[in-house]
Structure 1
Amino acid sequence: MTERIVVVGAALLDGGRLLAARRSAPPELAGRWELPGGKVEPGERPEAALVRELREELGVEAEAVERIPGSWPLRPPYELHVWTAHLRPGSAAPAPLEDHDELRWLTPSDIWTVPWLDQDVPAVRAALPRLGAASPDA
């Protein structure tokens, strides 16, 4: 059995809003929305990977807060784990630097107005209570 590789996703929260990132690459994912993040490198703690990925992808200084219970399968051997995160005081505003062409801060009522990647939908649903929103029955 192949060992699973953890991909960390950030439920980046600010003022009751969640940051969503639109993929620009690869072509089969372009135009769909996701929680920003990326692969945990060998020997790296997931929380450290999350902070590194947000710096690389969005140009921000963030802090991982807590892991959202659960894990979600991506294409083998990858598995998504999601942490809530906040921008550190003095951080730059998020900007799409790598693999994304647009960012949006979504309020609970806006969450389902973007076409999320299928594999991110259950993770977004799990993150919603942190925004004080009820999960839809979708």
Structure 2
Amino acid sequence: MSQIVVAGALISGATLLVAQRQRPPELAGLWELPGGKVATGESEADALARELREELGVDVVVGERLGADLAIGESMVLRAYVVTQTGGALHPHDHRALRWVSVAELESLDWVPADRAWLPELAKRLGE
């Protein structure tokens, strides 16, 4: 069975929160939508809310799916959701840096390869 990995697109006005990875070495320094693995018995929404609380220090409400599922290797499926911050204070507990970017900056970021697939969908949402 595939391991589901969830990522959150935290949008505030016309900006998107992106997180710069610290590890593993091959992905360090690249930007991504923050998130993590879904634990056994956990819903995707619960997992994403937990991961964002652990990684960023924020409470979120998980909204609709963003784009399509992305297969990573043979055993992982990456899914993104739009999230809304409801509390907490942003802090990069698990990342090198956090940054708010506009639609104009999306293409210029050095993205984790898998997350690039969501750029058209993210651009559409930020442009709205």
TM class, shorter-length:
over 0.9
Higher strand share: 2
Flag the 1:124–1:9 CA change in 2: closer, same or farther, 3 A: farther
Shift of 1:47: 0.7
Task: Give runs of aligned pairs for residues 49-60 of structure 1, distance below 5 A.
Answer: 49-60=47-58
Count of aligned residue pairs for this structure pair: 128
Q: With the length of structure 2 as denominator, give the TM-score of the two structures.
A: 0.94
Of Structure 1 and Structure 2, the greater helix share is in 2
After TM superposition, list the pairs within 5 Å mapping 1:16-95 onto structure 2: 16-88=14-86, 91-95=87-91
What is the alpha-carbon distance in structure 1 between the residues aligned to residue 102 and residue 88 of structure 2? 21
Partners of 1:69 and 1:33 lie apart in 2 by 18
CA-to-aligned-CA distance 1:7-60 (integer Å, 9 cap, x gap): 001111111111110001111110101000000111111011110000000000
Distance 1:61 1:78 in 2: 25
Using the alignment, how far apart are the partners of 2:120 and 2:2 within structure 1?
23
The answer on whether the counterparts of 1:59 and 1:95 sit within 8 Å (CA) in structure 2 is: yes
In 1: Cα distance, 2:93 partner to 2:119 partner: 22
Which residue matches 1:136?
none
Aligned residues: CA RMSD: 1.3
CA distance in 1, matches of 2:41, 2:114: 25
Q: Which whole-Å CA distance do the structure 1 matches of 2:67 and 2:18 have between them?
A: 20
Q: Secondary structure at the match of 2:88?
A: coil
Unaligned runs of 5+ in 1: 134-138
Which region of structure 1 is more displaced relative to structure 2, 19-28 or 118-127? 118-127
Q: State the 4+ residue runs in structure 1 displaced beyond 3 angstroms.
A: none
TM-score, normalised via structure 1 length: 0.87
Is the 8 Å Cα contact of residues 72 and 123 (structure 1) preserved in structure 2? Answer: no
Q: Report the equivalent of 1:118.
A: 113
1:7 is the counterpart of 2:5: yes
**Alpha-carbon distance between aligned partners in 2 of 1:18 and 1:69, rounded to the nearest angstrom:** 15
1:23 alignment partner AA: R
Name the SS for the 1:49 alignment partner. Answer: helix
In structure 2, list runs of 5 or more residues that go unmatched: none
